[in-house]
Amino acid sequence: MRTQIEKLSYDKLRTFHQKIFKALLSKAMMRKVFTVLLIVLIAGSIVWYFKESSVGTTQNPKLPSKGGYYLTGDSRIYLINASAKFGYYDRDLWGQVKKGDKCVIISGTIRNDYDRDYYVPLSAVLYNSKGEKVGIVVQPERPDHFTVVYLEGGKVGTFKLYVFCNDSVVDYEVFIPFEPSEIPPP
């Protein structure tokens, strides 16, 4: 009789273990499916974030990087590097651009090779595929068509130019619109 009870208990235990194994197996499969879906969701969110949050950039062709030369004639202001990307203005500015207008954002680094400290004005021009000049600098911080970087003699500084444009742009040029000065422009 004991063997029959043991056999009955063994059968129940075996059935119980099979049910638990099936439940664990399906939970493990569910975990795997959930994990894969979570990874896909996170990866998709990261791709979307970097695509959308690059502060108004668009998916236009890449503009060339610049640098390794002195700006404008016999100037001693050296353009170390500059890069440009397409974007949009995030607000209305100076009655010249409206929020959402297309622009090219040029960021770069310059060096003052003069012995004196200077306020360095910087501007830019854009070129379309025909080599025609297009666009106009419209900066958030000032209503004129340039930005100003204060640089001590021999030091390096960064700049950012926003150039309003409606045409397709294939190239750009950063330049000094007037002589650097020891006194800031108005």
The tens digit of pLDDT for each residue in 109-132 reads 999 999 999 999 999 999 999 999
- Cβ-based neighbour number of residue 116 at 10 Å: 13
| b/e code 130-166 from CB counts within 10 Å (16+ = b) | eeeebbbbbbeeeeebbbbbebeeeeebebebbbbbe
Residues 67-104 pLDDT 10s: 999 998 889 999 999 999 999 999 999 989 999 999 99
Distance, CA of 124 to CA of 83 (rounded, Å): 12
Residue 14 has pLDDT above 80, yes or no: no
At residue 98, what is the residue type?
K
Residue 133 has pLDDT above 90, yes or no: yes
Residue 52 has pLDDT above 50, yes or no: no
At residue 156, what is the residue type?
V
Give the global pTM: 0.66
Q: For residue 158, what is the enclosing H or E element?
A: strand 156-164
pLDDT, averaged across the chain: 83
State CA 136 to chain mean position distance. Answer: 22
CA distances from 95 to 91, 103, 126, 138, 143 (A): 11, 15, 21, 10, 9
Residue 22 has pLDDT above 80, yes or no: no
Hunting for tokens 């960021």 — which residue is that? Answer: 107
